[in-house]
Structures are given as C-alpha cells and as structure tokens.
Structure 1
Amino acid sequence: MASELEMPKLSDTMTEGTILRWLKKEGDAVEIGDEIAEIETDKATMAMEVFDEGILSKIMVQEGEKAAVGAVIGILGDEGEDVSDSGSSSKPAETPAPAEEKKEASPAPAASSPAQAPAPAAPASSDGSRLRVSPLARKIAEEKGVDLTTLTGSGPSGRIVKKDVEAAGSGSAKPAASSSAPAAAAAPAAKAIVPAAASGEDQRIELSTMRKIIADRLLTSKVTIPHFYLHVEVDAAPLMSLRKQINEQAEKTTGNKYTINDFIVKALINASVAVPQVNASFAGDHIVQYASVGVSVAVAVDDGLVTPVVKNAETKSLLQISREIKDIAARSRDKKLRPDEFDGGTVTISNLGSYGIDSFDAIVNPPQAIILSVGNIVKKPVVVGDEIKPGLRLNLGLSCDHRVVDGAVGAQFLAEMKKLIENPALMLV
C-alpha cells in the first residue's frame, strides 16, 4: 500500500525546507532508516531518514524546490503498484511566478508583499502536534472551508481522511489561537523601496532559506528591539602575552592552539555570570534571567551567518571552549550541524577582528538581550603616566536591548570584560 513521504520538521522554527538533493531515485528500493534526501532548513542542511520501506515510486518535489512542513514530497509504494494519483494535491511551498510578476514583486520586502508570503505549515492540533491529513481530505477541507484542527481522524494512526471532512460539513468556525506567551508588538509595515532599473548585465539572485531567515530576524530585531550601544577600549597586551605562553606549553601537551577569540569568549562567559542581568530575555510582561550561559558564536558561512551555541558554558574550561568553538565553526561551514546545536543561546559574540575591522555595532540576536562585538587588536600610541608608549588596544562594543539592560548595567558588564582581558589570569582560576 502506498505511503506518503512528508517534509519533516527538522527544527523548532522550521516552516519549510528545500530539497537540495535526492539520495534515491524513482524506482529505488528504500528500507527503514535509509537516508533518502538532503534538506536545507532555516538552520542547517540535514539528511532525511525514512521510517517505512518500499519503492520510491514518485518524487513530488524536485531538487531545488521548497515544500512546507507536512507537505508530501514523495510516494513510497509496493513494487508494481500504481501511484499515479497519489499526492496529487500536494505542491511545493513556492510556485514560480511569471517573469513580469516577479519583476514587480522583487523590490518589496516579503513582509509587505502578500504574493510572496511563505506557504503555511501543515495544520497543527490543539496540543501543538502536527495533524495527519490525507491529500484528498486537505483539498476537500479547503474547498468546503472546514477547519482541520477541529476534526478527529478515523484513518490509521488518527489520520484525517475524506469521510471525516465530508461529515464535518462546511463553514466550520476556526478556533481562536491561544498562547501562554504574551504577543509581541506588531512591527510597522516596511515601505517598498524600488531599486534602480536593471540592465541586461545585472544578475537576479534568489534568496536562500538561510538568507530569508536572516533578513526576517534582523528586520524584526531592529524594528521591535530598542537598541543602544556602548564601547570600551582595553589594553590587549597582557592577553597577548599570556596567550603566547599558554600556546607554547599547549603545543607540547594538548596540541590545542588557542585563539584570541577563545579568551574573549571565556571573558564573556565570566562577565555574564558576574553581571547576570545581561544574561536574559524580554518576555512581554516579565524578564527571563537564565541560570546558565549559552554563548552563540557568530560564524560566517557561504550564504550568510549562523550562530551555533556553546551550551552550559560557565561549566567549561578554556580548553573545552576552544575545542568546541573550533568544532562547531568547522561543521557550520560544512553544513553539518544539528538543529539542536543552534538552540539555548543566551548571549552572542561577533568577532570581525580577523577581517581588519577595528570596531562596529552588531544587531541584537533575538530573543537575547546583548551581543558583544569584537574588533581588531591595533598597535597604537597610548599614554602611560606622562609618557607616550606603543600599546596594543582592542575595541569592544556592546549592543543592548534597552527593555532588559539599562545603560549602567551595560557599563558594568563592559567594565568586567575590561578587567578580565587586562588581567587574563583571572579567567583561569
């Protein structure tokens, strides 16, 4: 008997996925546990496993196409079984628009263009779990206006089938959405800005799933979070000296080479423990102050920026932190991270020093309250006593959500960072 392969929900924020590559072709035998396709989510690229066996009789979503979570992307059948009518009502999350329509829609941000809104995820039941609905039942429900979340399926494993929808009739009232979390303030609609007219040599670059998520999250952050920014210049010479000593010894023992960023991350962790008000999130009618520190480390990848997390960071040594950052950075660039490795961040660090940037202001990574921006270590003249001497200086920037962190708290946090970096031995005790 034919069974449908549905787009899985591979992360807590995933609403659609892109089929990057089919690992099986139509006609191939598939066994339970086989990896059948590579799927790009909003966070990573992952292999999709199957939990049934049979023949991959029909591929519904081709490589490079998107599909909403729960949409049918393929059909498994028995050998010789006719599956020509299976999954006929399923379609990718995005249908290419005519060239003229694309040209008109391209200047407007997705948030202000209904024609480009992403397809909704599969319906969910009242307890938040995804409903199991046959393609025919879903089609009939759309035609009759039946709210699938109000139905109880009579098919296998509680699946909603044709007769369940027909029995419900039409005009079902859709229940009001409920949530224990307070609603976020609505962002004002962005006004469309029309770009300069394209010439024949200009290139149209379609947004990847990752770039769409980056655009959405950062727009939300800048529009809904009241940012303020602080900067401090610290003496980096003691840190550079200690790092040199440790690396000389580490090469003979652990074989690990410590980066400047490793020490700054360690200072960020210690400072977040010392000033716990920054290790928090705004939650509408209250603030959540976290007991543990999860450091989101900004890593540049081919198509944007990802922020995998060093979890329970306050419990880890400098060596553990250094090794973990190297590991997650390498796997980020290879798109080998698991979705859960992006969860649990409470503070973020973004370091552009290796790109020659002396200082910058980063955008808060919601729902976190702070992000630390780290610049390049610069050799410059500094005043020591009454004399001018050469020094090594490092600029640290702090972007804060003013709903959570006040100026005095942010200043206290940066003072703690300055103390640790200028006295780096304190991080090792």
Structure 2
Amino acid sequence: MALELKMPALSPTMEKGTLARWLVAVGDEVKSGDVIAEIETDKATMEFEAVDEGRIASLTVAEGTDDVPVGTIIATMAEDGDEVAAPPVPEASNAGGEASAEVPIAPPSATPEPAAVPVADPAPTPCVAPHTESQADNATPLARRIARFKGLSLHSLKGSGPRGKIVKADLGLPSMLPPSSSAMPQMNAPRSTPAYDPPAGVPVESVKLTTMRKTIARRLSESKQTVPHFYLAVRCNLDPLLKLRSELNASLAPRGIKLSVNDFMIKALAMALVEVPDANVQFGGDVLHRFSRADVSMAVAIEGGLITPVIRDAASLSLSAIAKQSKALASKARNGKLEPEDYEGGTASISNLGMFGIDEMVPVINPPQALILGIGSVIEQPWKVDGEISLAKIMSATGSFDHRAIDGAVAAEFMAAFRTLLESPLLIVG
C-alpha cells in the first residue's frame, strides 16, 4: 500500500515551508520517528519525522523548493515490499513560489489542510487507533508537541491519520491564523515593497533570500505601513544595578549561574507590564486584548536573521531562572533547535544591542504585539547623583508603542516604571 507524505504543519500557524534538504533517497528504508527531511519555516529549520515504516518510493518535491503549501504531497512510501510508482502529477502550479524544474510539485487544493483525510468513497470507515498502543505513542510528533504545550490529553481521541495516527486536526483546536486579508478593507492592505535592480557597473553578488529573511522583510514592512508607531525614551543610572549584579554573581558562581544585564532587563520589562497592565495589551480590530501575564519575547540574532524565543510569565520568575531560560533558548535558537512552543506568543518584546556599542536603539514593533523595548549600551557620563554632579553609568532605553492600543500617558507610565525598577534593582530581586 502506498503512503503519501505531505508537507507538515510544523507549527499551528504554518501555511507553507521550504523543503530545505532531503535526508533520505528513493529506496531507503525508514522507521517511525526517523528524520527524513529538514523543513525551513519562517521561524526556523525543523526536522520532519516519518510516522510509519516503509521504503521511500518517490520524492515528488526537490530539496530547495520554496513556498510549498502545507498538505502538498512531497514523497510517497511503500509498505511490505510493494513496488510503488510515483503518483501522476498534473501540471505544476507556480502560484505559491518557484517550483523546481527537475521535479514537479503536485499542486495543493485551494485551501490546504495539513491533516485532511483523503476520501476514497462516499462512506469511508473512520480510522480508530489500535488498542494495543497508547494514544500518546500513536500520535504524530507535532500532535504530541501541541498537546503537551496546550495541556491536552490524547487518551480519549481517535486518530484520522494513516493507521489511525492522531494528527494536529484531531486536537480540535481553533484556527490560529490571522483573519483573511479579503475580510479587511482594501485601503488597509500593506503596500507591496518595490524591488530595484542594482546599479549598472557596480560589482555585486545577489543572494537568494531564505524563507526567514523574506518573512522578516514582509512582517516588518507590514508593521511600519500599518501600525502607527510612537516612541518614548528614558535614560537610566545603572550603577546600583551593576553593583548588585556583581554581588549576586559572586554568590551564584558555585551553582554555575551568571546573571547578565539583559536578564535584569527582561525581568524589569515584565514587572513593569504587571505594574502598568494597560501597556500589556494587543490591538485586535474591534477589541483590545488585555493580558494577565507578561510573556517576554527576546530578540536573538542567528545566522540569516532574527528570532524571538519567549520567556513565559517572566515577572514571576527569579533572575536565576530567567538567566537559565534565556541562555538555553538562545543556544537552541543559534543551533536551529527551537520548537514552535519556544517562540510562539509573547506579549511584548525586547531587543538589546548594547553589547555592540550602540548608544540608542529605536526598534520596529513585532506584530501583533503592541510594545517593544530597544536597549542601548551603558555609557559613563556626567550625572546628578545625591545632589552632586559625578560620573555614572547611564543606559538608554527606547520603547516603540502601537498607538491603536496604547496611549501616550500609559506608555509614559510604563517607561517610568521600567526606569524605577532598573535604578532600584532591589525591587527586582525582592
């Protein structure tokens, strides 16, 4: 029996991906759980695992193919020694991206569903998971990850995938995709960014954009075109914080923990959001979403782009816990090992370029969030301390705010709370 392997939805919001690399060839034997391909999404390069055992019969999408919609057949697999020829492929459609000239892509349906069950006849028999195997073991890796992240039980579910496997669609989650652009007024649609040829006569190397870089370009262009930004900046005396950090690091050294200045920034940002809840919001069209928890997205520079893993409920975490999480997430990001639950969500962002010697940073809002903080470097300069002018270590922080969700007075209250926490760091550890 031939099994069709389809472009998976590696996150709840994924619509298409790039088939970065095949890790198998036609004729290879694979087992359930074997990694057979690397899929590049707008966030990271992730591994695609086989769900069933068998032999690769055909690879219908060439590695390096961009914008392959979720649900597209990318390979077929034979079971029990069957000889399976590659499925007939209609004329390839190029609407979703550039298809490979060597291997045609089977075009998806108009609205691809990552876990749709092909209907063979008018009255199909529903697939029921085998009773000899626990439901958790009988779920796809993506379904297990989502269920674990959402706190869902798999034991009462029936699978609709091959051999009764539980797939993402069986979890009954509402769609997390943004509203269709067709439902929005045309006047609000972001303008397309013009592309220009390089000037003639200048030596140039043109490098194809990765999926991540194209997504960054699209999302940040959309942010500047559709989100009414406004900016507030504060300068903070970090002498007390740096002194406290040195003392804490000396006591934490035996435990192998070292606090960074950025760990203090993450904690202070989260605590300021709790103190000023009207800043911990998100614009939702006809509604305003108010969050009761501060999840901080921290910008991490990786090869080819930027990604923002999330420190969840950062206000309730200790500095040492934030230090451990931020270090682990940054390492996973740079090694391309982030899971969707590591970077999805977040109620506000922070981007720190201080370590690069940047005096001030004015960041672009990371939609759909309404707030991002840009952190500059610590500069020694004259400052009024205890009624006298002396040298102090001063840091600039600039907040970018979505004026549809946050008013100027609220933003000013938030920035003042952030500065107070940094200049009185015992409030952060207390």
Q: CA RMSD in A?
A: 2.9
Residue 15 of structure 1 corresponds to which residue in structure 2?
15
Query: How many residues in Structure 1 have an aligned counterpart in Structure 2?
Result: 372
Letter in 2 for 1:334: N
Residue 363 of structure 2 corresponds to which residue in structure 1?
362
C-alpha spacing 1:59/1:90, structure 2 compared with 1 (3 Å): farther
Cα deviation, 1:32-56, whole Å, max 9, x if unaligned, reads 2222111111112211112222110
TM-score, length of structure 1 as denominator length: 0.79
For 2:116, which of 122, 125, 131 is the aligned residue?
A: 131
1:95 aligns with 2:94: no
Residue 58 of structure 1 corresponds to which residue in structure 2?
58
8 Å contact from structure 2 (residues 382, 391) kept in 1: yes
Residue 37 of structure 2 corresponds to which residue in structure 1?
37
Residue 132 of structure 2 corresponds to which residue in structure 1?
none
Residue 415 of structure 1 corresponds to which residue in structure 2?
416
Residue 300 of structure 2 corresponds to which residue in structure 1?
299
Identity, % of aligned positions: 40
Residue 76 of structure 1 corresponds to which residue in structure 2?
77
Residue 171 of structure 2 corresponds to which residue in structure 1?
none
8 Å contact from structure 1 (residues 282, 404) kept in 2: yes
8 Å contact from structure 2 (residues 190, 222) kept in 1: no
Cα deviation, 1:118-176, whole Å, max 9, x if unaligned, reads x9975448xx7753458xx9xxxxxxxxxxxxxx96567699xxxxxxxxxxxxxxxxx
1:213 aligns with 2:215: yes
TM-score, length of structure 2 as denominator length: 0.79
Mapped to 1, the partners of 2:55 and 2:336 lie a distance apart of 29
1:232 aligns with 2:234: yes
8 Å contact from structure 2 (residues 22, 37) kept in 1: yes
8 Å contact from structure 1 (residues 294, 347) kept in 2: yes
Letter in 2 for 1:7: M
Mapped to 1, the partners of 2:213 and 2:257 lie a distance apart of 34
C-alpha spacing 1:85/1:268, structure 2 compared with 1 (3 Å): closer
Mapped to 2, the partners of 1:21 and 1:130 lie a distance apart of 22
For 2:199, which of 197, 200, 210 is the aligned residue?
A: 197
Residue 428 of structure 1 corresponds to which residue in structure 2?
429
C-alpha spacing 1:327/1:179, structure 2 compared with 1 (3 Å): closer
Mapped to 2, the partners of 1:351 and 1:305 lie a distance apart of 12
Query: Which residues of structure 1 form unaligned runs of 5+?
Result: 99-118, 138-151, 160-177
8 Å contact from structure 1 (residues 6, 69) kept in 2: yes
The structural deviation recorded for 1:204 is: 1.3
Mapped to 2, the partners of 1:262 and 1:277 lie a distance apart of 23
Query: Which residues of structure 2 form unaligned runs of 5+?
Result: 128-159, 161-177
Mapped to 2, the partners of 1:129 and 1:181 lie a distance apart of 21
Letter in 1 for 2:211: T
SS in 1 for 2:4: strand
The structural deviation recorded for 1:9 is: 0.5
Residue 145 of structure 1 corresponds to which residue in structure 2?
none
SS in 1 for 2:86: coil
The structural deviation recorded for 1:181 is: 11
Q: Write out aligned runs for 1:158-197 (5 A).
A: 183-184=183-184, 186-190=188-192, 192=194, 194-197=196-199
8 Å contact from structure 2 (residues 71, 114) kept in 1: no
C-alpha spacing 1:315/1:184, structure 2 compared with 1 (3 Å): farther
